[in-house]
C-alpha cells in the first residue's frame, strides 16, 4: 500500500481487497486448512502458546483460544485519534493480505459490503 493510499484510508476511504489479494489469501488459507486436517500440532493454531506450546487444544475450543489471545494482548493507550487507529488497522490488514497469516477473506455485512480477513481459527 502506497503512503497516499494509507492516508486516504486513515481519513475515511474504505479498504476493499482486490481479486488478486482475495485469491492470494484463499490459496494460503487452503494450505493452512490442509495442514490442520493432518491433525499435527501447529503452534498457536492447535496448541496453547508459551509454556503451553505442547498442550493440544480440542477443535471446539480453538475459536475461544484465538479470541483469548487477541483480547489478552489488547492494550489501552487512552484516547487515540480515529485516523491513527484507521491507519494502524489498515497496516495490519495489509500484512494479512500478503497471504501468510492464515486469515481468510469472508464476506460480512459492513458499510461497503466487504470486510477484511477474519482470524485463522474460526471453527
Rounded CA-CA distance 82/36 in Å is 37
Rounded CA-CA distance 103/98 in Å is 10
Whole-model pTM: value is 0.60
Q: What band does 78 get if pLDDT is binned at 50, 70 and 90?
A: confident
Whether 87 has a pLDDT exceeding 90, the answer reads yes
C-alpha cell at 6: 494509507
Over residues 96-120, the mean pLDDT reads 54
Burial of 123 per CB tally in 10 Å (0-12, 13-18, 19+)? exposed
Amino acid at each position: 500500500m502506497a503512503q497516499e493510499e494509507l492516508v486516504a484510508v486513515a481519513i475515511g476511504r474504505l479498504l476493499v481487497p482486490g481479486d488478486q489479494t482475495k485469491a492470494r489469501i484463499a490459496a494460503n488459507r487452503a494450505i493452512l486448512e490442509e495442514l490442520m486436517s493432518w491433525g499435527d500440532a501447529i503452534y498457536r493454531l492447535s496448541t496453547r502458546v508459551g509454556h503451553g506450546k505442547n498442550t493440544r487444544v480440542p477443535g471446539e475450543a480453538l475459536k475461544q483460544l484465538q479470541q483469548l489471545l487477541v483480547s489478552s494482548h489488547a492494550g489501552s493507550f487512552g484516547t487515540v485519534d480515529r485516523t491513527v487507529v484507521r491507519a494502524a488497522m489498515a497496516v495490519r490488514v495489509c500484512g494479512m493480505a500478503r497471504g501468510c497469516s492464515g486469515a481468510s477473506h469472508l464476506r460480512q455485512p459492513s458499510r461497503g459490503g466487504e470486510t477484511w480477513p477474519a482470524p485463522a481459527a474460526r471453527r
